[in-house]
Chains A and B, each alone.
Chain A
Amino acid sequence: MEGVIELNIWQMAAAYIFIVILLVIVKARGISREKEIIISSIRMTIQLVLTGYILVYLFNNMHPLYTILAISIMEIFAIYNIYKRSKTKLSKSLKKIIALSMLLGTLSSLIYFLLVVVQISPWYNPRYFIPIAGMIIGNSMTGISLGVTRLVDGIDTQKHLVESALMLGATPKMATKSIVDNTFDSAILPTINSMVGMGIVFLPGMMTGQILSGTSPVTAIGYQIAIMLGILGSVSLTVILFVQLGYKTFFNEESQLVVGE
């Protein structure tokens, strides 16, 4: 880690001054967003400082229970966030499907990725487990969030076509096929787009962080490629689980469309 520049308190202060200058410009322009900028900057600072202390504690006191606890909190937070981000009210059964797909999809991807690809030891090593879980859970959360919006809106706006298909003898699966396909596409599109631009348009956050903290770019790129494949796999898996189980919650056992129950 030779030659790495550790940021001291004055350098950090300089970073904040940058935001202060931004605020002055925003104010002069008459854009009333200064409150949001201040609050989100402070919130980000507090969250990261706390996370930093927690990570230091976890790394120094390795224990499987601590790792499991950390993952559980991340999963609960992610699932709750998907519920909160949804603009429409979600049915109880759809909420259950969201939670189930998130847990099954992210945990199986995570286990494969950590134990087969990276081969960490011990299996609960928080230095690898926690940041990688964060990336996999975070990206899957974004994917399902998009999927939830698309699926609920799709069935709502195309209710007439779905019912017309049922009237002709379609199964619920056939009647919602185009909506389900569309949902899957739009949910994984951001992940695919970010892979396309990677390394040319921008350097991904994880790799940037590793390089800045002194890791060789070759090592950083190796991890980045592996983690991107892990993210793509996890996003696809969670979204597939979500749509394949989710469309069914809009129908009852008589294959009748029930919206808003």
Chain B
Amino acid sequence: MFSLKEVKYKNILNVKHLHIKKNKITCIIGESGSGKTTLLRLLNKLISCDSGEITYNEQSLKVIDSVELRRNVVMLPQAPAIFSGSIKDNLLIGLKFSEKPLLSDDHLTEVLNLVNLNKELHDNAENLSGGEKQRVALGRVILLHPEVLLLDEPSSALDEDTEYLIIDALVNYTRENNKTMIMVTHSKKVAHQFSDEIIEIKRALVNVL
């Protein structure tokens, strides 16, 4: 699905060769500051590499329209973004941004269940805890049903039980809907339990385990 060749970004990341498979669950691990977030940002085309080439479905990212790409390859940032308004507003804003038809409240509640969040749609999203905000942001990405989910430490603010519950649900969602998931995680345990493929970044160099 994604293929990287001789990709360099500043002094932060140096990838000789990397292939990320379609319809698989790939986990990215590595110490903090090793460049995991930077790699996801490159795949979402939020930044462009200084040299080398990244392709998505055999097409160079350089020739794919950024906005078009981001609507198929959606990224969930490490720190969840909450816009002012209710949980419902925050779920719908992703659909508005990507110009997709808005969904009914039933749909939205279903997604809240999927991310294991016991809140009302009209609750104010800005008063939620860190872990709850993270799940709203995750729900927002799932509603978009993108081909590829780029998740940057989606469970960092959750306790271990909730973490496993949600990652399990995400993995099931990905497999059932034939999606591709690329997830950065701080937990090697999570990576080994759930992923088909693990990528480790060490001192800016990328290895496939």
Name A residues whose Cβ lies closer than 8 Å to a Cβ of B: 160-161, 163-171, 174-175, 254-257
Known contacts A161-B83, A256-B66; is A168 also within 8 Å of B47 by CB? no
The CA of A160 and the CA of B96, in the complex, are separated in Å by 18
Given A169-B74, A256-B48, 14 more contacts at CB 8 Å? A160-B81, A161-B81, A163-B77, A164-B77, A165-B81, A165-B93, A166-B46, A167-B44, A167-B77, A168-B93, A168-B94, A169-B94, A169-B99, A254-B45
Please pick, from B74, B97, B140, the residue contacting A174 in the complex, using a CB distance under 8 A: B97
The CA of A257 and the CA of B67, in the complex, are separated in Å by 12
Closest 9 CB pairs of A and B: A164-B81, A169-B98, A169-B71, A170-B97, A167-B75, A255-B66, A169-B70, A168-B97, A168-B94
Q: A164 to chain B: which residues have CB within 8 Å? A: 77, 81
Least CB distance from B92 to A in Å reads: 11
Q: Which residue of B lies closest to A164 (CB)?
A: B81
Q: Mark B37-62, 1 if CB is under 8 A from A, else 0.
A: 00000001111100000000000000
Contact A169 B67 (CB under 8 A): yes
Q: B81 to chain A: which residues have CB within 8 Å? A: 160-161, 164-165
The CA of A255 and the CA of B67, in the complex, are separated in Å by 7
Please pick, from B47, B93, B99, the residue contacting A256 in the complex, using a CB distance under 8 A: B47
The CA of A170 and the CA of B71, in the complex, are separated in Å by 8
Does any Cβ of A come within 8 Å of B144's Cβ?
A: yes
The CA of A47 and the CA of B48, in the complex, are separated in Å by 52
Known contacts A161-B83, A256-B66; is A167 also within 8 Å of B46 by CB? yes
Least CB distance from A258 to B in Å reads: 10
List B68-107 residues whose CB lies under 8 Å from chain A.
Answer: 70-71, 74-77, 79, 81, 83, 93-94, 96-99
Please pick, from A165, A255, A257, the residue contacting B97 in the complex, using a CB distance under 8 A: A165
The CA of A256 and the CA of B9, in the complex, are separated in Å by 15
A-B contact pairs, 16 of them (CB 8 A): A160-B77, A160-B79, A160-B81, A164-B77, A165-B93, A166-B70, A167-B70, A167-B74, A168-B74, A168-B97, A169-B67, A169-B74, A170-B98, A175-B97, A256-B46, A256-B66
Contact B67 A171 (CB under 8 A): yes
The CA of A169 and the CA of B96, in the complex, are separated in Å by 9
Contact A168 B144 (CB under 8 A): yes
Q: A169 to chain B: which residues have CB within 8 Å? A: 67, 70-71, 74, 94, 97-99, 144
Does any Cβ of A come within 8 Å of B183's Cβ?
A: no
Does any Cβ of A come within 8 Å of B141's Cβ?
A: yes
Least CB distance from A104 to B in Å reads: 28
The CA of A230 and the CA of B74, in the complex, are separated in Å by 47
Least CB distance from A156 to B in Å reads: 16
Least CB distance from B168 to A in Å reads: 24
Q: B141 to chain A: which residues have CB within 8 Å? A: 168
Contact B140 A256 (CB under 8 A): no
The CA of A69 and the CA of B79, in the complex, are separated in Å by 54
Q: Which residue of A lies closest to B140 (CB)?
A: A168
Please pick, from A161, A165, A256, the residue contacting B45 in the complex, using a CB distance under 8 A: A256
The CA of A102 and the CA of B191, in the complex, are separated in Å by 56
Least CB distance from B169 to A in Å reads: 20
Interface centre among A161, A174, A254 (most CB of B within 10 A): A254
Q: Which residue of A lies closest to B83 (CB)?
A: A161
Least CB distance from A160 to B in Å reads: 6
Q: Which residue of A lies closest to B99 (CB)?
A: A169
The CA of A226 and the CA of B76, in the complex, are separated in Å by 53
Contact B77 A254 (CB under 8 A): no
Least CB distance from A196 to B in Å reads: 28
The CA of A257 and the CA of B74, in the complex, are separated in Å by 17
Q: Which residue of B lies closest to A255 (CB)?
A: B66
Contact A254 B48 (CB under 8 A): yes
Q: A163 to chain B: which residues have CB within 8 Å? A: 46, 77
The CA of A168 and the CA of B100, in the complex, are separated in Å by 11
Q: Mark B116-147, 1 if CB is under 8 A from A, else 0.
A: 00000000000000000000000011001000
